Amino acid sequence: MNKKQLILHLAYLYPKSMNIYGDRGNLITLIKRYQWRNINLIIDEIEVGDNFNPTKYDFVFAGGGQDIHQLRIAEDLQNKKTAIIESVNRGTVFLLICGTYQLFGHYFITSTNNKIAGIGVLDITTIASKIKTGKTKRMIGNITTEIVIPNFKSEITTLVGFENHSGMTFINKDSSTTYPLGRVIKGFGNNGHDKTEGACYKNVFGTYLHGSLLPKNPHFTDFLIKKALENKYKSSIKLVDLNDILEYKAHQFILNHR
């Protein structure tokens, strides 16, 4: 595969504030799995106030953070909205966890009944469990889902992680663009009711799964890695196989035990 040096550019959004749930593991995993395949991954950290270049990036990653930071991020995302939408339309791969996943929807109604505007890339809305049901319910625990992305081809189709959120996310029922990432086998998922977990549109993948997600789901990681490469080089790419015995043992633990 590597006749010429492949290079990808990744934007890590808000590393200083959306970083508390160990989501950094996703970035570490991407770095290593590109590196082990001799693919050059160049990372830009993008903070509040920084410019987001819509044509530069092949991969965008953002994690979960504290409620209080989510407000700052929400404001900043509005400034980046046009650029992000342009990037999404170019087929850039986005992986968004928890807090940033919510803000890529239309809006998020917080537990204090404050409506925070999202950027509406995903056809989803999020409402704090306290407002929706009258009682704060944090959805916490290990979670297993079945990946339901239509063109996802892999022997292993489960996704495992740990969820910890009180926002309930709903995919618009009539959405023609946004579909769930997974069907819940064990755990809560988007809202604890409709068995959906996460949401996808084009190459944007939002999910509640921490754990970190990518280290123990190498099939999903490689799916994203391949997608980003194929989108950039506009040709079919076969990834070099890696030894994932340890990764799948960690994956299997969640399947077995919870």
Partner 1 sequence: MPFKTLIPTLIGQTISKLLLFRNKSRGETLPGLIVLKINKNFIKDTNQSVPHRIIISGTNGKTTTTAMVTKVLRDKGISFITNPSGSNLTRGIAAASLNISNKITHLLWEVDEAALTEVCQQVQPTHLVFTNLFRDQLDRYGETDTILHNWIILLKKLPKLQLILNADDPSLVYLGQQANQHNVIYFSVRGNPNNKLDDSSDSIFCPHCRKPLVYKTITFSHLGQFSCSCGFQSPKLNFIINSFNYRDKYLQININNLSNMTLPLIGTYNVYNSLAAYVLLNTLNFNNLDILTYLKDFQPAFGRQEIMRIKNKNILTILVKNPTGFNQAIETLIQLNKKLTLMIAINDKTADGKDVSWLWDVDFEKLTPIIDKLIISGDRADDMAVRIKYADFPNPKIQVINDKIKALETFLHCDDKNLYLLPTYTALWEIRKLIKNYE
Could you tell me which residues are annotated as the binding site for substrate? 138
Residue 93 CB, shortest distance to partner 1, in Å, is 20
Q: Which of 9, 69, 165, 210 is catalytic?
A: 210
Q: Determine whether 210 is an active site residue.
A: yes
Size of the site for partner 1 (CB under 8 A): 35
66 is an interface residue for partner 1 by CB under 8 A:
yes
If one asks whether residue 67 binds partner 1 (CB under 8 A), the answer comes out as: yes
Tell which one of 72, 90, 106, 202 touches partner 1 (CB under 8 A): 72
Binding status of residue 78 toward partner 1 by CB under 8 A: no
Q: State which of positions 134-173 bind partner 1 (CB under 8 A).
A: 140-142, 162, 164
Residue showing tokens 């990653």: 61
Q: Are 107 and 168 in contact (CB under 8 A)?
A: no
CB of 27 or CB of 199, closer to partner 1: 27
Among 7, 25, 149, 157, binds partner 1 (CB under 8 A): 25
Binding residues, by number, are: 138
Tell me if 115 contacts partner 1 by CB under 8 A. no
State how far the Cα of 29 lies from the Cα of 26, in Å rounded to an integer: 5
d(CA 52, CA 54): 6
By CB under 8 A, name the one of 6, 15, 50, 255 that touches partner 1: 15
* Whether residue 212 has a cis bond before it, omega within 30° of 0: yes
Per rule CB under 8 A, is residue 79 in the interface with partner 1? no
200 is catalytic: no
Judged by the rule CB under 8 A, the positions of this chain that interact with partner 1 are 15-17, 19-25, 28-29, 32, 66-69, 72, 140-142, 162, 164, 210-212, 215-216, 243, 246-247, 249-250, 252-253
